[in-house]
Structure 1
Amino acid sequence: MLKTALRNVLAHKARLLMTVLAVTLGVAFVSGTLVFADSSTAAHRAALSKDYADIAVTVTPKDPPPGAASAAGPAGSAGDAGSAGSAGDEHATVLDDVLARKLAALPGVAAVRPSADGLATLNAADGSPLRTGRTWAHRAAAYVPGADGKDGRHPLTEGRAPRGGDEIAVDSGTAAAGRFRIGAEITLATDGPAMKKRLVGIVTTRDTRVTAGGTLALFDMATAQQLFASPGRYTSIDLSAAPGSGEAELSRRVAALLPADRAEATTGTAQAAQQAVLVDTLTRGNEKLSLVFAGVALFIGSFLIVNTFTMLVARRTREIALLRAIGATRRQVVRSLLWEAVLLGLAASALGFVLGLGIASVLPRILGTAGESLPRGPLVIGPLPVMAALAVGVGITVLAAWLPSRKAARIAPVEAMRVAEQPPTAAASRARGAAGALLLALGAGLLLSLAGAKDASEENLRSAMSGCALLVVAVIVLAPLLAVPVIRLGGRLTGRLGIAGHLAHRNALRDPRRTAATASALMVSTALVAGLSVIGHSTGQALDRRAAAGLGADYVISTHTASAGIDPAAVQRVTAAPGVRTATAVADSTLFIGGGVREISGVDPAAAPSVMKLDFVSGSLKDLGPGRIALSRTLARENGVSTGGRIDARIGGPGQDLAPYTVVGVYEDNPTAREALGARTEVQRNSLTPGSVQRVLVRTGGGAHDGATEDRLRTATGENPLLKIQSRKELVREAAGSLSTLLTLTYGLLVIGGVIAALGIMNTLAMSVSDRTREIGVLRAIGMDRAGIRRMIRLESLTVAAFGTLLGLTTGLFGAWTVGALTNGALKGYALALPWDTLLLVCVISLATGVVAAALPARHASALGPLEAVAEI
């Protein structure tokens, strides 16, 4: 029987190729997505992590250094950035060269490395901000040469180290992303105005925060101190331990040397532990999302393998009957088929795993967007992808062969020789229907129970995922029973296409189980994309209404961080820019009111109505001024105050007492106006950056939204990379946040599901054509031409694809309707909205999948000659 198994594997090379291809691709998608999940998670962690391997103790100031913002002024000002570090020496840290020499003299210290580092955002060569999606990864530091004149942490690959205040070096990744060349002028900003420096060197770095997709800018030490600390001072001092010195003991020696009120020492182990907690918190969502992506690939990839082997064993029923007739036992027959499955699974698993590594390396580029690419890093191959490859390639393959082989082996030899296909019994159909109905009731009931959900809590999300999974499984179980009425209904359409359409309809109905299994992969992917796209579109519209609600301007110029500001002089340059009709500055700050902290916007009462759509319930802005504010309806209701009333509040940070404010108006909640409105001059005095504004609302002539207008506005702001210039659409995209990533992954699932479905349909049709060789020969003999044969096969494939698409759309839309209750509870203003263009595209792609999948089987079928086909055994 072992020899028989080996001969069977090698005897039918075309069948062997199709089966190996099915298993290989199933393994590739599963292992590839798991490797991608591990690699993506590792890259996200690397992008947030500093390496503490060679750091025993770090000395840092207890109070943060003054930074560039307090000295250089708000972003967008035209001042000289070279004086950034001259801010108040009274705030200078104790970390200086004197302390560094004292630390170096301590017993157990091997080396001391002072640092002056911070953040710097660069413009690319084309003037656009570089990698603005990760402001926390815009590393900036000093180039610190050692005794040999080289910085071991930043080896030069081209050019030289920066030596003066007008020079800069960057890492090779930043140079490639920004298209920088040695000698080029680079525009950058730290926490103030834009500055220009000449690129003199390109370095490499092992800092994973940079290599995973960040940027690195290096200055000479004096410039770095000026920008990020103060002249002659450092932001931190790292110490490495001599052999035999422990971190804890060294930390105690260092702490005894430091002024307790101005500096502190932390071991490298403690810093790494703190960082690990933070990174785990920030990357938990990425891990779950990647694993869900891999799980879905496993779910739909299994269909291809199971369906292929089910058909493979079914078409060998006569062969199994012959073996039984010449003396083989049922156990021997089953064992023979299982040996075939094991041998084929092992070979396909190896091929699939290699192909999966290719998929994992390509996915980050496919799923990344122009504005926000995924963090980069090496492929991480853990034990889970290897085990999954074997489980899918061997485990599912053996299971897929075992179930139909047992059924085939139980058929009497004479009966099997007489009938090739064994339709399910009435009892089996009733059992399938009952099981499917029960699963459908459980899934739908669980989803409908979420109708009253008030938020998207973890418990509600688990219920939603469980309900959706049960719903999909129920539809898969019921698909063979649904295939007959649905395809018969569609037969009225295909029947109008002549005899080829009529035969295609009959062929699709010949084996409803096979048709349903073939359509299932397409159904699952279509349901996922349809459901998530509906939720995404509905959420996007709600975010649109919230993110830009009350916005009468065409553009909003703002800072990337709340602590920075825009110099009022920049507003004048924006106002004078060509094409600008109105430009109004808004100062944002905090409002301490009623025991809580709220947001207040400082506006010019005369200009605000031209850029904000304010709907006042009572009062107006005309009386706005010092000591007088307007409140949103929600804030006024929470504090029990109305127009004309008085309330105690404080604008800005601590250090001031509450003061009485008169409420001059109450307006409908408005995200653009925030929760309260005050006079701009009063809010500016109490903002984090006094005298600055945080937003500029711009109206253009004719409401223009184009690249030229945005370029003019960026030029007017001095091309400061710290400033965002956003249209209404870009505001909504930013508000969507992780939703856009989820939708991108969803469309990736559509691609994977479409490929799997296409291969499943192709396999089904290829085996169906092989089974119907005599039938095709008879059709050719009685007059059907080659074009008619091709049309018949294509229409059959299209019928299967249409069936899967219909089930997928119905399931996805129902799931989106029920799950939408969670979003409605978490996002005010959410309402179900169908993205007709996306749904139409899904339908077109799904149906096109059927047409493409039929190409090769149709060509093979039409190439059969009548006599040759009839003579086939």
Structure 2
Amino acid sequence: MHVLATIRSRWTGFLGTIGALALGVTIVTAALLVHVSAQPGVPVRYEATGVIVHGPLAAENPGGHRPAIPWTAERTADLSGKLAGVDGVSQVVPDYSFYAQAVLDGEPAGDARADPQGHGWSSTLLGGDRLTDGRAPEAPGELAVGEDTGASVGDDLTVLTAAGPVVYRVVGTVDAPGFHVTDDEAAKLADGVAVLGLLTEPDADTAAVDAAATAILGDEGVALHGAERVAFEPESHTRTRWLGTQLLTAMTVLSAFAAVFVVASTFAFGVAQRRRELGLLRTIGATPGQIRRMLFGEALGVGLIAAVIGVVLGIGLAPILGGLLVDAELEPPDFSVRLAAWPLLVAGGVGMIVAFLGVWAASRRAAKVRPMEALREASVDAKPMTRGRWILGTLSLAAGVGGVVLAATAGAEDLLNYSMMAAIALIVGLTLYAPVIIPPVVRLASWPFTRAKGATWTVVRESTLVAVRRVASTAAPVLVTVGFVVLLAGMVQTMKGAMSTDLAAQLPAEVVVSPEGTPGLSDAAVDALPGDALPVMTVDAYLDGEAFTVTGLRGDVPPGTIRIVEPYLETLGLADGDEITLTFPDGEPATLTVQAGVEPEGRAAEEMYPTAVIVDRETLRELAPNALTEVVYVNGATVGEAAAAVPGMGALALDTESFAAHADEREWELLRVFMLVLLIMAIGYTALAIANTLIMANADRRGDFAVLRLSGAVNAQVLKVVAVETVLVVAVGTGLGLLVAVAALEGVRRGLESSIDADVAMAIPWDYVGMVIGASLVLALGSSLLTARTALRTPAVRLAGMKE
């Protein structure tokens, strides 16, 4: 009962804590619901297939993907015949898939990240697709398309393929996405077959069919049925889900950390304000253990309220968050949120744990309050720096300075780690040292005020110097947020600029042509380019069950030869002149002569020779009929000439500087999405921390306001003092945050200069800084002025006589 009474009597002090915890629980609830809903599902293309058979899986690659090795045409036919004889199997359908993308209004349309959308007509049986108009394709040049294209029966539709644009006559429309040609035409356009769909009788036992198929396949493939078919989720969807999971994880961790930070600072500030109350409890016999239990009881009450609010809000937020992730291409297009019980229970539990973690340090401090504290009247902070703060703050600052030095001399692989370590250590150190740093900083920042006439400026300066803990509690969240935001955004922008400069200086080309709105460039686009063109194409090849990426280059390697750089050559156990037999995407084995190569160095070399294995491009084209070209380096032509040669083919021609600036744009864009989400969350928690501290502080300063009013100050002057103090505190936190971030960014800048041997400019994200400062000021001024106005409604004489 005492706990509930305390919460009711000090509701303004707990309001920010409840808000911070509720926000954390809301984010955790929404993130967990989205994560649960984002689990792989059976692809729509295979929903009607009882059992799916795929080729033997290659060893897991660094990205965690295990591609299925395609069969030869002969082996595909042999396996299809044997599997068709299994009891319960009505039909065996080889899945021929190839790249296809519609050209609408002269430009490629649809999702450029999608897996191959072209298929043989028989593959419609695998997903149960139905004709909605017209008929199935029966001859070359005929096409059945998904209704999403907007095409109608009788239309001529231009479709991009790996060979180039092809005009098809639409003879039918289907109720599912895709481009369907005859099976014979699909076999010519596609790579080898790696998937066979087994259509089963209505009453067939799919588990028995699976077992029979497994016996036939032996080590030449794998059969899957039921829920096992989720393994066929497209690789692009798997990667998209992985990216979304990383963001959800970052959101959850940041929410929990920030909530602990806000709760801890709130309870610590509350203990400082309640020292007379706690001293009185000690005077009447309360033990340190009872004081701690009281605070933990308050945390329990606050945590329960926040958990209920957060879970309810999280259920409503989850669909919105899921939609935003789909729009940002961090979840597949068919994603939808579904409710589950355990995320709600876990999120509520996280809120309770965060509440207890946040109150732990404050409870220890409260237990040390002595009975004599009940006799204290002054509101001056006593001993704001404890021995623990001195030790931990000193160690943190030393680690931060060391991190800056290490970042300035580190290689590219360690640069980010050292910079982040430096920033975190400096932020923690400055936050712990705030009671020491704040007074001289405030004196410096308020120096112009001392020359101004009037008592307002003197009151502002002296009140901030006396109430160091209040100023530090308000400035700390601004310091942390500005420091992290400027560091993260500045690091990304600085690194992007440095990498672009380095790449542009090394590329031995006048023009670079890359895909725009397509996953790659067709042969027609490559062949149409003027000048001396160097196209780069990569595909997976297989050796003894292991997959590795092969690059195809024009005129760089003699036909029938495969160049392997020496370090990788030793790993494979090969030597110059050996013969090697590989399985390529067409499923057929190819024997090539090994040629030892030198490992490329530098960013430009990595762009032009992206893998350790290289073959002649024409050879690779024969072995991988569905492969697309990633990029083409052109000399002897202008950007305009290159662009004019490939209209409507999804190609973008740029000079080297522009290309370098846009290189890896997808990865940079994902980083920006991550930063924006984290920035919004950081601003939210900063606003809560500032508002909570100021509401508590100003509610406790009613006596101070009364003294000012009894001394002759009018309400407007009191509000002016409060506003100026608030602006001053936010400015102090911003300045210290910028100091931390710029110090860490200087280490990044120097490290990058050392890595690329060129001048690198430090990028300060002033737009993000402005967002943080603006949000902090608006919330700080709003909360402080609102609380002050509420206090001013009570007559000053009554306030002056009030006791705690």
The offset of 1:456, in angstroms, is: 1.8
Match of 2:438 among 470, 483, 486: 483
Q: How does 1:55-134 map to 2 (within 5 A)?
A: 56=51, 58=53, 95=76, 103-107=83-87, 109-123=88-102, 128-130=107-109, 134=113
TM-score normalized with structure 2 length: 0.73
Instruction: Tell me the equivalent position of 2:795.
Output: 868
| Contact 2:719–2:785, Cα closer than 8 Å, also in 1 | yes
The offset of 1:852, in angstroms, is: 0.5
1:664-719 superposed Cα distances (whole Å, 9 cap, x missing partner): xxx9996699479xxxxx98766736999986678999978xxxx99x85xx6352
| Contact 1:160–1:201, Cα closer than 8 Å, also in 2 | yes
The offset of 1:310, in angstroms, is: 2.8
Give the letter for the 2:700 counterpart.
Answer: D
The offset of 1:12, in angstroms, is: 5.1
1:3-51 superposed Cα distances (whole Å, 9 cap, x missing partner): x322333345555544422321233345545555x369x46x6699997
- Distance change (3 Å), C-alpha of 1:303 and 1:816: same
- Distance change (3 Å), C-alpha of 1:869 and 1:334: farther
Query: How many angstroms apart in 1 are the aligned matches of 2:673 and 2:737?
Result: 19
The offset of 1:114, in angstroms, is: 0.8
1:821-865 superposed Cα distances (whole Å, 9 cap, x missing partner): 77678x6457643114x1x22332232123211124314424654
The offset of 1:169, in angstroms, is: 3.5
Query: How many angstroms apart in 1 are the aligned matches of 2:460 and 2:788?
Result: 13
Instruction: Tell me the equivalent position of 1:437.
Output: 394
Match of 1:251 among 207, 213, 216: 213
Instruction: Tell me the equivalent position of 1:849.
Output: 775
Instruction: Tell me the equivalent position of 1:858.
Output: 785
Give the letter for the 2:763 counterpart.
Answer: P
The offset of 1:745, in angstroms, is: 1.1
Query: How many angstroms apart in 2 are the aligned matches of 1:748 and 1:506?
Result: 39
Q: How does 1:173-192 map to 2 (within 5 A)?
A: 175=148, 180=150, 187-192=158-163
2:198 aligned with 1:238, yes or no?
A: yes
Match of 1:335 among 293, 296, 317: 293
1:156-182 superposed Cα distances (whole Å, 9 cap, x missing partner): 8xx4475335443437xxx3xx7x476
The offset of 1:400, in angstroms, is: 3.7
Query: How many angstroms apart in 2 are the aligned matches of 1:818 and 1:587?
Result: 38
Query: How many angstroms apart in 1 are the aligned matches of 2:428 and 2:713?
Result: 41
- Distance change (3 Å), C-alpha of 1:866 and 1:441: same
Query: How many angstroms apart in 2 are the aligned matches of 1:803 and 1:199?
Result: 70
- Distance change (3 Å), C-alpha of 1:99 and 1:546: same
Match of 1:749 among 674, 678, 681: 678
Provide the aligned length of Structure 1 versus Structure 2.
Answer: 738
Instruction: Tell me the equivalent position of 2:20.
Output: 22
- Distance change (3 Å), C-alpha of 1:803 and 1:225: same
- Distance change (3 Å), C-alpha of 1:870 and 1:139: farther
1:508-529 superposed Cα distances (whole Å, 9 cap, x missing partner): 3333233323333332332222
| Contact 1:300–1:756, Cα closer than 8 Å, also in 2 | yes
Instruction: Tell me the equivalent position of 2:180.
Output: 219
1:739-783 superposed Cα distances (whole Å, 9 cap, x missing partner): 432233123222211111112111222222211223224434555
Query: How many angstroms apart in 1 are the aligned matches of 2:368 and 2:602?
Result: 74
Specify the SS of the correspondent of 2:178. strand
The offset of 1:490, in angstroms, is: 1.1
Give the letter for the 2:146 counterpart.
Answer: V
Instruction: Tell me the equivalent position of 1:351.
Output: 309
- Larger CA deviation: 341-350 vs 515-524: 515-524
- Distance change (3 Å), C-alpha of 1:469 and 1:137: farther
- Distance change (3 Å), C-alpha of 1:255 and 1:702: closer
| Contact 1:483–1:516, Cα closer than 8 Å, also in 2 | yes
2:259 aligned with 1:298, yes or no?
A: no
Match of 1:720 among 632, 649, 653: 649
- Distance change (3 Å), C-alpha of 1:281 and 1:362: closer
Q: How does 1:466-505 map to 2 (within 5 A)?
A: 468-495=423-450, 499-505=455-461
| Contact 2:483–2:738, Cα closer than 8 Å, also in 1 | yes
- Distance change (3 Å), C-alpha of 1:802 and 1:685: same
Query: How many angstroms apart in 2 are the aligned matches of 1:61 and 1:310?
Result: 60
Give the letter for the 1:544 counterpart.
Answer: S
1:558-578 superposed Cα distances (whole Å, 9 cap, x missing partner): 59678952357634xxx7xxx
Match of 2:513 among 546, 556, 562: 556
Match of 2:144 among 168, 190, 194: 168
- Distance change (3 Å), C-alpha of 1:803 and 1:832: farther
Give the letter for the 1:340 counterpart.
Answer: E
Q: How does 1:247-286 map to 2 (within 5 A)?
A: 249-251=211-213, 254-255=216-217, 266=223
Q: How does 1:287-326 map to 2 (within 5 A)?
A: 290-320=248-278
Give the letter for the 2:440 counterpart.
Answer: P
The offset of 1:531, in angstroms, is: 1.8
Query: How many angstroms apart in 2 are the aligned matches of 1:277 and 1:701?
Result: 38
Instruction: Tell me the equivalent position of 1:142.
Output: 121
Give the letter for the 2:3 counterpart.
Answer: A
Instruction: Tell me the equivalent position of 1:203.
Output: 175
Give the letter for the 2:258 counterpart.
Answer: I
Give the letter for the 1:491 counterpart.
Answer: S
Match of 1:758 among 682, 687, 690: 687
2:1 aligned with 1:6, yes or no?
A: no
Give the letter for the 2:524 counterpart.
Answer: I
TM-score normalized with structure 1 length: 0.68
1:34-89 superposed Cα distances (whole Å, 9 cap, x missing partner): 555x369x46x6699997996545266999xxxxxxxxxxxxxxxxxxxxxxxxxx
2:705 aligned with 1:776, yes or no?
A: yes
Query: How many angstroms apart in 2 are the aligned matches of 1:585 and 1:238?
Result: 45
The offset of 1:303, in angstroms, is: 2.0
The offset of 1:436, in angstroms, is: 0.9
Identity of aligned residues (%): 21
Give the letter for the 2:253 counterpart.
Answer: G
The offset of 1:349, in angstroms, is: 1.2
Query: How many angstroms apart in 2 are the aligned matches of 1:437 and 1:746?
Result: 30
Query: How many angstroms apart in 1 are the aligned matches of 2:698 and 2:481?
Result: 26
Query: How many angstroms apart in 1 are the aligned matches of 2:194 and 2:554?
Result: 36
- Distance change (3 Å), C-alpha of 1:296 and 1:550: same
1:328-362 superposed Cα distances (whole Å, 9 cap, x missing partner): 66555543443232122112112123334555544
- Distance change (3 Å), C-alpha of 1:264 and 1:152: closer
1:718-746 superposed Cα distances (whole Å, 9 cap, x missing partner): 5234x455565455334255343223312
Pairwise CA RMSD: 5.5
Query: How many angstroms apart in 1 are the aligned matches of 2:103 and 2:379?
Result: 66
Query: How many angstroms apart in 2 are the aligned matches of 1:557 and 1:441?
Result: 47
Query: How many angstroms apart in 1 are the aligned matches of 2:596 and 2:278?
Result: 93
Q: How does 1:674-823 map to 2 (within 5 A)?
A: 674=608, 688=621, 713=644, 717=646, 719-721=648-650, 723-725=651-653, 729=658, 732-818=661-747
Give the letter for the 1:442 counterpart.
Answer: A
Give the letter for the 1:103 counterpart.
Answer: L
Query: How many angstroms apart in 2 are the aligned matches of 1:199 and 1:514?
Result: 75
Query: How many angstroms apart in 2 are the aligned matches of 1:47 and 1:249?
Result: 20
- Distance change (3 Å), C-alpha of 1:139 and 1:509: farther
Give the letter for the 2:703 counterpart.
Answer: R
| Contact 1:325–1:413, Cα closer than 8 Å, also in 2 | yes
| Contact 2:513–2:653, Cα closer than 8 Å, also in 1 | yes
Query: How many angstroms apart in 2 are the aligned matches of 1:7 and 1:406?
Result: 22
Query: How many angstroms apart in 2 are the aligned matches of 1:869 and 1:166?
Result: 89
- Distance change (3 Å), C-alpha of 1:703 and 1:505: farther
Q: How does 1:622-661 map to 2 (within 5 A)?
A: none
| Contact 1:10–1:16, Cα closer than 8 Å, also in 2 | no
Match of 2:413 among 456, 460, 467: 456
Specify the SS of the correspondent of 1:438. helix
In the alignment, structure 2 segments of 5+ residues that lack a partner are 59-71, 539-547, 560-564, 566-575, 585-589
